[in-house]
Structure 1
Amino acid sequence: MSTIEDGPLHSVMGRVGRLSTRRPWLTVTVWLLVAVGVGALVLAFGRATDENAALPGATSQHGRDLLESHFAGAQDATGQVLFRSPGTALDTASVAAAAQRVAAVGHVSGVQKPVLSADRRTGYVDVQFDLGPRDVTPELIDDVLAAAATDGVETLPAGALARPRSDTRLSEALGIVVALVVLVIAFGGLLAATLPLLTAVVTLVCGVGIIGLAGHLTGIPSVATTLGTMIGLGVGIDYALFLMTRYRALLPASAPAALASPAAPAGPAAPASPAAQVGSAPGSRRAWRRGGSRRGGTQVIPVARRRAAVVETVASSGSAVAFAGGTVIVALGGLAVAGVPILATLGWTAGLVVLVAVASATTLLPAMLMLLGGRVTAPPVRDRASLWGRLADRVTRRPWRYAVTSAVLLLALAAPVTAMTLGQTDAGDDPAGTDTRAGYDAMAAAFGAGVNGPLTVVAALDSPASSPADARLAQLSAAVGGTAGIASVQPVRLSADGTVASIKAVPTTAPSDPATRTTVDRLDDLRVGGVAVSVTGQTAIRGELADRVGARMPFVIGLVVLLSALLVFAAFRAPVVAAKAALMNLLSVGAAYGVLTAVFQWGWGVTWTGLDGPVPIEAYVPMMLFALLSGLSMDYEVFLLTAVRESWVRTGDNVRAVRDGLAGTGVVITSAALIMVCVFASFVLSSTPVVKMIGLGLAVAIAVDATVIRGLLVPATMALLGRANWWSPRRRSAAAPRSPELETTGPASR
């Protein structure tokens, strides 16, 4: 037996099921109170985000640390308010008056002297706050812009003031609507379809709400909450779907004494094939006759039988859900070894949402099933199991044909990955019409593209300087200004103790331009007598982040693949299956990488995503996608392999086991994957390029995984490998008969 079928996890989840069904009203009430409490805290305190990247050990981070320790207010947020006159030169008096009004706004600690463009039609003022970046709220930004408003002059936010606004509500709504449609078709009833949605909504409120509240304590980028929303909707619905399907298959079936009604025979019925169990759906006429009485169109099932069915559901499918969720969390935990804080943050925040999804699916959903009784046993719209049964027959009859064809297709999708380069996006990559893009373009047109990503050269002096006019600092300023790729430099700033100086330099190229990274390297190589130089700023830090991610990606990928293979081996005790699962994960992620490269880097169809043209692939996105997809794809692998292995143990016939497994899980996996693909794809509608990349990458990988890999390649390779699939050095016999109690429970939805 596998760990999922008879190990400690099965026993633990059985106890969880009994606890949830013993006092279902209490379980539901606790979840509702937690959700309401978290929601109230979010409404009261908001969701704080911080886009400032950190990179311990990097040269740029050392420069930032020097600034923060020697200059008061160095950690405070700074943005720009841009003034643009449509046809005449700006009235400097009006701009100065606007600057004074801005200075009077609460939490504004200073407003610098206006800077005008060469044609004097555009100007801007630097606005500094007495708050950190994550504490500058949209309401405060609106107050600043309202104070800066001037008749006859266009006012735009730039820099930290042009923060991306959350625009994922449409994506969330679309995902929920599509999920509801798929669930209604899969379950054949609106009531049954709403239960997975309710668990997903609770997961979103609790998981994403906690992430937002944690932003007040530590730096969390806005993409973390968006990613949490994607994952919460996707896995929250999918995990509940697997449990619901298992429950509906168990409840009306002829069952052993533990599941039978008082009038049912004590002995077990003949085992049903997986396809037959899916086809003999809860709510069919035969099921009505088997499962108690019928009252008002609702099947009346004894409480003891319902409780036994729920407990068995949580013990079996709940174990698979817990294992699959644990696999996702472990894979995301692998990001912590990359040494990149933003990846570690995305890992633990996404893992938190997955943990909440597993908890709600295995406790809240069973409690609701107990309360609803037989009202969730409506028949499906039509029998779809035969479609997957026919596909399973075709694949297992000609495994070489399907294995080679699907492998070639996957390699073709993955081919562009060989040209993938990692970079960083900036506001100039945002869709036209957004606040961030408008401010970026206006600043770039008037002052050059580099003004949107200034660099700060930090100098640590071997002996204190008495003033910024120190000869060493004058020499450094001249060297910085004369460096290739630098358009202008600002006056030297000196710390109070005279040991640290900083010079703000504006490059000639945009923040996302690879040439800017070259300019940073030139500045880092400057050698001025008695002065140690470090270049910092978001542009410099994110450039080093891309380098570090590229260097450590092979190590992280190797670790995640190893962990995933070990988990599958622990579940099924079959090294061949574990190695094959790891290889399949690489193929699905490779296909996603190839599509990302072709769309965003090469620009193939990029305008369909709402962008104007090709954009750099954000450095941390591929590594984060790899960990996340490795975990999510294991969900389907676990459910399919559990069904295949159950038939293999029962029959000892490998080909039949593969057919039974695919036929029995095809509908469930397809429904779950369709929901997840639609949820992820809907986030391509976001205005943020990074969110578009994540949404498209996840959607492509899940679609490929659930169709080409799980539907064709996995069954074909398992048919080819034969008995070697389940070989184990510690197993004495290839197959053993199952107990009568387990014979009656097919793998339809594990």
Structure 2
Amino acid sequence: MTRLLGRLGGWCARHGWIVLVTWVVAAAALMGGSLAFPSPTSNDASIPGTDAQRAHDLMKTGFGSGYDTGGTVQLLLYSPDGPLIEDDRKRAVERSIDRLRTMPHVQEVDTPFRKGGISSNLQIGLITVRLEGNDGDQIAATTQALSKAADPAREAGLEVVPADSSTPADKEIKTGPSEIIGVVCALLVLVFAFGTLVAAAIPIFAALVSVASGLGVIGLLGWVVDMPKQAGIMATMIGLGVGIDYALFLLSRHRRLLAQGVPVVESVRRTVAGSGGAVVFAGGTVIIALSALMLAGFPLLATLGWVTGISVVAAVLTSVTLVPALLGLLGHRVNALKVPFLRGSGSSGSGWSGLGSWVARRPWRVLLASVVVLGALAAPALALKLGPVDEGYGVQGSDSRRAYELMATGFGPGFNGPLIVVAELPLKVADADAPLVADVVREVEDVDGVKYVGEPEVNTSGRSVLLQAVPEYAPSDERAAQVVRDVRAISLPGVQMHVGGEVAGLTDAGDRMAERTPLVIGVVVLLSALLLLLAFRAPVVAIKAAVMNLVSLGAAFGALAMVFSIGLGSGLVGLDPPVSSSYVQPIFFSVPIESYVPLMLFAVLFGLSMDYEVFLLTAVRQSYLRHGRNARAVAEGLGSTGRVITSAALIMVAVFVAFIAYPDSMVKTFGVGLAVAIAVDATIIRGFLVPATMVLLGRLNWWCPRWLDRILPNLSVEGHEEDDEPAVERREPVKLGV
């Protein structure tokens, strides 16, 4: 593989303009095509085989009333100056209802002046609009149009707020300043790392081209597959980080070779043959980890996994083709536009080599200290709180947050997450007054935690009954999930109870994640270790690398628990506290983490952490093959990669921290988790724990049984050692398999 990559890098360096123009045209065409022909996004967060999905399917069969056609939209009314039933206000509301009934796709409008439609203080009302023939992807636009139709109520001094009827996958996360902030921070780190503006601009340019290409492909794929609205932001976040990092590793080695007097094209060839192989293997581990999400049994999560993998593929391709082309075109001008007072990174890594030597002299003490520190960082993960995040944690002042607060104040917190109960009956009933239907309603009313049960509705076949049950608890309250389970546990002869709705769906998602998490983790760890085994032909190193990545994940989940579950930093990351009856709002408050987020974080973090492991192990192995001295190889490997890995980690941390500014809680969670994990991985783990364990293991690091060495294909991740430096006196390489 290294020879093939070397030839590819050399060709790209000699034909730089062809490669550059091809990439720019391709990126512009893909991105332009996706913008000119925006594909529909899917709001389908269904989980096949779950009870919530069964309830949803039954709800669409013969019930009408908007359940099987276009959904519903709710408008909250608030009268700050008196009751809604006062004549002028009531007439204004009725005029609004008349206008709503004339709007396209509106099938039925429920007035607030009905049982259960107005609060006990008569100041908050609820208009429910049922739709037919409406495109589910246009629910946001439809909601805004319906809200506009209620202007007569606003003119009468009433507040009209549309409730958020979207699903988790329907949350559109728009791009904003975070990408710009991340790129600027990355550029500053690169300027300090290289000391020249030209060198600093190369990774940024390559990453932007790869992100644009990846987003273009993702946008066009939306025409043939269901694409969640989070896809773009996830691809951008990961694509920027790995794209800059991969180009940085290649550029650092190229500049080192130029400083040794190697000709430009030859330097590029050696760089791509050596560091390019590490990039390919590092990208492969990320893609393997993301691909394993297909085993989670959650279509939304699986799609997010392979979509994010597209951005990683684009980053790898630009790194081994576009970056060599740029290096070939620039030649020695790669060091142009030096920044005064900044020396930049050179070939010296004496500081990091010194750290490696220091660790090598006291490996046991370093190992124990590292374990204690990492254990302390991971300990809060035991308090990690999983659950749905309702609009009570939304952006202060947003329509969805205001509607949530009005609903909770006027009707109770459970009205923000009603349960849709569908009972399959053993025999046909004539109407909702049948005794069997009354039994179903009574059993649901008797469940602990159910506050209100709406009027039942029988479908056209007479074999299913649908009703709405409102729990006493908010959607984010874990007790709401227990109400779902208790309703499903109702036992009536021949009756099968199914519960749908947002709370039920998220409850099933949590149960599915808990069931499939061991499988996903096992597959990711096993395949990643296998890839490392193929790369280094060293089973001990492969197993140890997988364990080290799990350690950094523990620190990341500990940070998430501290910030969100324990609440010590929830305000600092920009989350607003939930509404409180007290005039003093809490400084620290707990925020649940969506049940699918930890598994997605695991896949992403495991892959990203493996990047640094691959680059460090590559350098250590090359040194070891030169002279066969393990402790010295560890020090030299850390010295040659320490500054580069640190710069790469700073860039990733800067990019991920920038995304914490997004108002969406899921993006904030990813930003915090990714930033902490990368910071810990590049410092404590790669600087102390990995060197200490490698020193203690000695020759076992590179031991391989003869039988295994014979059957493993030759897929060495690194190029030949003589490609990296001029001829030096060295000892015979240590042969594997002995």
With normalisation by structure 1, the TM-score equals 0.86
- Report whether the alignment pairs 1:729 with 2:705: yes
> 2:75, 2:127 within 8 Å by CA — same for their partners in 1?
yes
Q: 1:452 to 1:136 in 2, by over 3 A?
A: same
Supply the distance in 2 between the matched residues of 1:740 and 1:178 (Cα, whole angstroms): 36
1:658 aligns with 2:634: yes
Q: CA deviation at 1:30?
A: 2.8
Structure 2: which amino acid aligns with 1:183? L
Question: What's the offset of the Cα at 1:684?
Answer: 1.6
Question: Match for 1:118: what amino acid?
Answer: S
**Residues 72 and 130 in structure 2, CA contact (< 8 A), matched pair in contact too:** yes
Partners of 1:725 and 1:181 in 2: how far apart? 37
| 1:610 lines up with 2:615 in the alignment | no
Q: Does 1:314 align with 2:272?
A: yes
- Matching residue's letter, 1:416: P
Number of residues of Structure 1 aligned to a counterpart in Structure 2 = 685
Query: Partners in 1 of 2:698 and 2:552 — Cα distance?
Result: 23
Deviation at 1:134, TM superposition (A): 5.5
Given the alignment, which residue of 177, 196, 199 partners 1:189? Answer: 196
Pick which of 466-475 and 171-180 moved more: 466-475
Gap runs ≥5 in structure 2 = 578-588, 711-718, 729-738
* Distance in 1 separating the partners of 2:693 and 2:48: 45
Query: Partner of 2:584 in structure 1?
Result: none
Judged with a 3 Å threshold, the aligned counterparts in structure 2 of structure 1 residues 187 and 383 are, in CA distance, closer, same or farther, namely: closer
In 1, Cα distance between equivalents of 2:139 and 2:216 = 17
Aligned to 2:733: none
Letter of the 2:190 counterpart: L
Native 8 Å contact 1:70 1:500 kept in 2 = no
1:480 aligned residue (433, 444, 456): 444
Equivalents in 2 of 1:164, 1:652: separation in Å?
56
Matched AA of 1:651? H
Hey, what does 1:170 align to over in structure 2? 177
Q: 1:94 aligned to 2:92? A: yes
Please identify, of 50-59 and 702-711, the stretch whose mean Cα deviation from structure 2 is larger.
Answer: 50-59
- Following superposition, which runs of at least 4 residues in structure 1 exceed 6 angstroms of deviation? none
Distance between the aligned counterparts of 1:739 and 1:196, measured in 2? 25
Structure 1: distance between partners of 2:726 and 2:144? 64
Residues 502/16 of structure 1: CA separation in 2 closer, same or farther (3 Å cut): farther
Q: Conserved in 1, the CA contact under 8 Å of 2:61 and 2:459? A: no
Alignment partner for residue 111 of structure 1, among 87, 106, 109?
109
User: Which residue in the other structure is 2:583 paired with?
Assistant: none
**SS at 1:607 equivalent:** coil
AA at the equivalent of 2:256: A
| Per-residue Cα deviation, 1:456-505 (whole angstroms, up to 9, x for no partner) | 11122333333233332222122223322112222222323333321111
Question: Does the 8 Å contact 2:241/2:651 carry over to 1?
Answer: yes
1:325 CA displacement: 0.6
Superposed displacement of residue 172, structure 1 = 1.2
Query: Which residue of structure 2 lines up, in the alignment, with residue 717 of structure 1?
Result: 693
Report the Cα distance in structure 2 between the residues aligned to 1:123 and 1:209, rounded to whole angstroms: 45
Unaligned runs of 5+ in 1: 1-8, 261-305
User: Counterparts of 1:607 and 1:74 in 2: how far apart (Å)?
Assistant: 41
Confirm whether residue 180 of structure 1 aligns to residue 187 of structure 2. yes
Map 1:202-281 to 2 at 5 A.
Answer: 202-215=209-222, 217-255=224-262, 260=263
Instruction: Determine if contact 2:63/2:457 at 8 Å carries over to the other structure.
Output: no
Aligned residue number for residue 299 of structure 1: none
Distance, in Å, in 2 between the alignment partners of 1:439 and 1:504 is: 20
**Pairs within 5 Å for 1:278-317:** 306-317=264-275
Letter in 2 for 1:195: I
Assess if the C-alpha contact under 8 Å between 2:383 and 2:566 holds in 1.
Answer: no
Deviations 1:75-134 (A, max 9, x none): 634332212112212222222322333444445554333332222211222234456775
Q: For residues 600 and 157 of structure 1, what CA distance do their matches in structure 2 show? A: 28
Give the aligned partner of residue 571 of structure 1.
535
2:679 corresponds in structure 1 to 703
Alpha carbons of structure 1 residues 739 and 330: separation in structure 2 relative to 1, 3 Å: closer
Quickly say closer, same or farther: Cα 1:137–1:173, change in 2 above 3 A. farther
- Mapped pair 1:156 → 2:156: no
1:83 is matched with 77
Aligned residue in 1 for 2:465: 501
Task: Give the stretch that moved more between structures: 170-179 or 550-559.
Answer: 550-559
- CA deviations on 1:604-658 (whole Å, 9 max, x unpaired) are 2222112222111211111111111111001000000000000000011111111
Q: Does 1:679 align with 2:640?
A: no
CA apart distance, 1:587: 0.7
Question: One-letter code of the match for 1:365?
Answer: V
Note if contact 1:650-1:738 (Cα within 8 Å) is conserved in structure 2.
Answer: no
Q: CA deviation at 1:531?
A: 2.5
For 2:617, the aligned partner's letter is L
Per-residue deviation, residues 21-53 of structure 1 (Å, max 9, x unmatched) = 454333323322332233333333446444542
Give the aligned partner of residue 32 of structure 1.
24
Q: Where does residue 279 of structure 1 map in the other structure?
A: none
Return the offset for 1:564: 1.7
- Code of the residue aligned with 1:54 in structure 2: it is S
Q: Per the alignment, do residues 49 and 448 of structure 1 end up closer, same or farther by CA in structure 2, a change over 3 Å counting?
A: farther
Residue 701 of structure 1, CA deviation: 0.4
Contact 1:84-1:121 within 8 A present in 2 as well: yes
The verdict on how the C-alpha distance between 1:146 and 1:587 changes in structure 2, with shifts beyond 3 A counting, is: same
Counterparts in 2 of 1:114-133, with a 5 A limit?
114=112, 115-130=117-132
Distance in 2 of aligned mates of 1:94 and 1:447: 22
In the other structure, the counterpart of 2:145 is 143
Could you say which residue in structure 2 is the equivalent of 1:456?
A: 420
1:14 to 6, 14, 18: 6
Q: Determine if the alignment matches structure 1 residue 549 to structure 2 residue 513.
A: yes
- 1:288-320, CA deviations, whole angstroms, 9 ceiling, x for partnerless residues? xxxxxxxxxxxxxxxxxx333323322222211
Q: Is the 8 A contact 2:192 2:344 kept in 1?
A: no
Contact kept, 8 Å, 2:195 with 2:344, in 1: the verdict is: no
Distance 2:721 2:351 in 1: 30
The 3 A distance-change label for structure 1 pair 739 and 48 is: closer
State the shift of 1:137 in Å.
6.1
Q: Secondary structure at the match of 2:120?
A: coil
Per-residue Cα deviation, 1:510-540 (whole angstroms, up to 9, x for no partner): 1111111111111101223442211111210
The 1:554–1:164 alpha-carbon spacing in structure 2 relative to 1, beyond 3 Å, is closer
- Equivalent residue for 1:56? 48
What is the CA–CA distance in structure 1 between the aligned matches of 2:25 and 2:9, rounded to whole Å? 20
Matched, 1:369 2:330: no
Q: 1:67 to 1:16 in 2, by over 3 A?
A: farther
CA drift at 1:681: 1.4
Q: 1:540 aligns with which of 504, 508, 517?
A: 504
Letter in 2 for 1:355: V
Partner of 1:266: none
Change (3 A) 1:122 1:217: farther
Give me the whole-angstrom Cα distance separating, in 1, the residues matched to 2:236 and 2:39.
13
Structure 1 vs Structure 2 CA RMSD: 2.5
TM-score normalised to the size of structure 2?
A: 0.87
**Matched letter for residue 5 of structure 2:** M
CA contact (8 A) 1:109 1:128 kept: yes
Distance 2:693 2:106 in 1: 64
Aligned residue runs from structure 1 range 326-337, under 5 A:
326-337=284-295
In structure 2, distance between residues paired with 1:514 and 1:523? 15
Q: Which amino acid aligns with 2:525?
A: V
Contact kept? 1:77, 1:133, Cα under 8 Å: no
Match of 2:736 in 1: none
Distance in 1 separating the partners of 2:318 and 2:132:
41
Q: 2:94 is matched by which residue type in structure 1?
A: A
Q: Distance in 1 between matches of 2:571 and 2:490?
A: 42
Q: Report the Cα distance in structure 2 between the residues aligned to 1:322 and 1:700, rounded to whole angstroms.
A: 25
CA contact (8 A) 2:662 2:668 kept: yes
Contact 2:196 2:344 in 1 (8 A): no
CA drift at 1:140: 4.2
Distance 1:102 1:670, change over 3 A: farther
Task: Identify which of 605, 612, 621 aligns with 1:636.
Answer: 612
Identity, in percent, stands at 46
How far apart are the structure 2 equivalents of 1:190 and 1:671? 15
- Secondary structure of the residue aligned to 1:503 is strand
Range moving further from structure 2, 527-536 or 216-225:
216-225
